[in-house]
Amino acid sequence: MSDPPASPSPGSGYASAPAPAGAAAGGSAGSGGGSGPGNGVPSEELLLEEGPILPMLDGAEAPPLALSPDMEVQRLVASDPTAHVEVRLDAYQEIIDGEVGDTTLARARNLERETGLRQIYLKFEGGNPSGTQKDRIAFAQVKDALRRGFDALTVATCGNYGAALAPAAALAGLRCVIHIPRSYHTRRLEEMERAGAEIVLVEGDYERAVLESREIAERDEMYDANPGGANTALQLQAYGEIAYEIYDDLRDAPAAVAVAVSNGTTLAGIYRGFLSLFRRGRTSKMPRMIAGSAARKNPIVQAYLKNLPHCEDLDPQSIRETPVNEPLINWHSSDGEHALQAIRATGGWAGDASDREMLAQARNLRDKQGLNVLPASTASLEVLLERHRREPLGGDRYVVVLTGRKA
């Protein structure tokens, strides 16, 4: 790889750069994992067996964010290092309000007819700038860094979080250093570099990349945007906005919310959002939280299935990664305890989904609902429908959170 590009100047934009060829649909359901050479099922074999759906398998390939004229003015203010911090924060919040969140919640009537489960709603996070829910925490972390006087951020990623954080940092005029395991292959790398991020390739897995990112943050006094630790409360609050948006559309809590898990932060944040609504008397009940992940490859799901009191790290050497399960792979879930507690507190459940099942669900959503989603993000949909096949669920409202780009 060539030397990483320098960070953009505050006045430079990234919206005019063309999108890379072969843009792919989909979005990550979580951090962790990667398909290095020789790991898992060979992608060619898998795809030939399942059909020509290679564009489904990579992270969401979002076009460069094109700001409206008034938002462009706010960008110039937010990224101006000579402006007062409060002025920059106000401008950055305007960008967040205009670009992040308020994603679509749509009823999947064709899926209902096919499965006999009514009513299924799809919360499609592909409407965010990077095509995933990661924008919610990326912009929140950048705003926090700006408020606290940092001029640089660092994070470890397998693709989607970095693709969200890089442009979010550029909009605020902050330097962004992204650590990626050398063996991982993501087409989102070009997006990160286009937004001005500095890429550091790390020998080892995702957890090793997190460790190196944290060490550099401490050594160079950079903002640590990695999941877990001091960032947990902020990230849970950001993902809690998904619950508020679901409530705004349904005017109450649904019977259940199904979320694909890796670190568990998204599920835990949605739970916290609904808990706040319930405690304030805005909803009549708490939704049951449902978690889905790659078969036998996630500590949260394994702890639930084995009725363990806490999440336990998995053996990294026993995990085989594939192009399908890669976004879900995580031998250590940084917010796993929060997610496991949410599942049990609401009477929810967790389960596994195979590569074949996730691919089938993604193809079905494309054909029946017109959505291109990352197969990994359908893990919880498979877990929800598998329970319905075994024990028919009553007529109510069921929400499934998905990531990707519209077809």
Q: How far is CA 304 from the centre of its chain?
A: 22
What is the model's pTM? 0.84
Distances in Å between the alpha carbon of 102 and those of 165, 182, 380?
Answer: 19, 35, 21
For the stretch 186-199, pLDDT in tens is: 678 888 999 999 99
pLDDT in tens, 104-134: 999 999 999 999 999 999 999 988 998 889 9
pLDDT of residue 286: 98
More confident of the two residues 54 and 317: 317
pLDDT of residue 67: 79
Q: Which of 258-262, 325-329, 345-349 has the lowest mean pLDDT?
A: 325-329
Burial of 244 (0-12, 13-18, 19+ CB in 10 A): middle
Average pLDDT of the chain? 85
221-230, 255-264, 289-298, 361-370: lowest mean pLDDT where? Answer: 221-230
pLDDT value for 62: 57
pLDDT (mean) for 295-303:
95
H or E element in which residue 47 lies: helix 43-50
Mean pLDDT value of segment 137-165 = 94
Look at residue 322 in the predicted model and tell me its pLDDT: 84
Q: pLDDT exceeding 90 applies to what percent of the chain?
A: 69
User: What are the residues facing 155 on neighbouring strands?
Assistant: 178
The string of pLDDT tens digits covering residues 20-64 is 333 333 333 343 333 332 333 333 334 434 444 444 444 555 566
pLDDT the model gives residue 81: 95
- pLDDT confidence tier of residue 201, bands split at 50, 70 and 90: very high
Sequence-distant (6+) residues with CB within 8 A of 305 are: 350, 351, 352
What per-residue confidence (pLDDT) applies to 14? 30
Predicted pLDDT of residue 34: 34
Confidence of residue 183 (pLDDT cuts 50, 70, 90): confident
